[in-house]
């Protein structure tokens, strides 16, 4: 079982603010890192799958970076909007034939209008 830490646990920002949060994971045996967004009363949706050290991915106002050597990933949201309010989950995958993700507890983001 991988030890996955996400911080902060929750975050309140004002509309228009930019924000970021962290996912820490074991750097040994790293294969990939997934980010998901989980809105209340909906199902989690995949945002990014990242595999390479130094990788940066972007989708609209959301971007993520990956440091596999030190075992962390940052998720950034530029100009937060109320519709960005959700729990953001990260899940590292350490490889092997069993493709099973271990999820962090998530960061709950609330964007106030």
Structural tokens at position 63: 């971007």
Cβ nearer to other proteins, comparing 47 with 111: 47
In the complex, least distance from residue 59 CB atom to other proteins, rounded to whole angstroms: 12
In the complex, least distance from residue 15 CB atom to other proteins, rounded to whole angstroms: 27
In the complex, least distance from residue 20 CB atom to other proteins, rounded to whole angstroms: 20
Contacts of residue 94, defined as CB under 8 A and 6 or more positions apart, other chains included, come to 2, 26, 28, 29, 30, 31
Which spans of this chain sit near other proteins (rule: CB under 8 A)?
Answer: 31-32, 34, 36, 42-46, 49, 51, 89, 93, 95, 98-106
Which conformational region is residue 24 in: left (phi greater than 0), alpha (psi within -120 to 50 degrees), or beta? Answer: beta
Cβ nearer to other proteins, comparing 96 with 113: 96
In the complex, least distance from residue 113 CB atom to other proteins, rounded to whole angstroms: 26
Q: Is 34 strand, coil or helix?
A: strand
DSSP 26: -
Cβ nearer to other proteins, comparing 31 with 54: 31
Q: What share of the chain is helix, strand, coil (3-state, %, to 5)?
A: 5, 50, 45
Cβ nearer to other proteins, comparing 57 with 78: 57
């Amino acid at each position: 079982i991988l030890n996955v830490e996400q911080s902060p646990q929750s975050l309140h920002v004002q509309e228009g603010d930019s924000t970021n949060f962290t996912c820490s994971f074991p750097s040994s045996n790293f294969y990939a890192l997934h980010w998901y967004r989980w809105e209340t009363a909906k199902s989690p949706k995949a945002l990014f799958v990242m595999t390479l050290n130094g990788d940066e991915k972007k989708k609209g106002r959301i971007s993520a970076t990956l440091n596999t050597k030190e075992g962390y990933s940052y998720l950034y949201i530029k100009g937060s909007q109320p519709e960005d309010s959700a729990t953001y989950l990260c899940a590292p995958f350490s490889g092997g034939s069993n493709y099973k993700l271990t999820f962090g507890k998530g960061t709950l983001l609330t964007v106030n209008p």
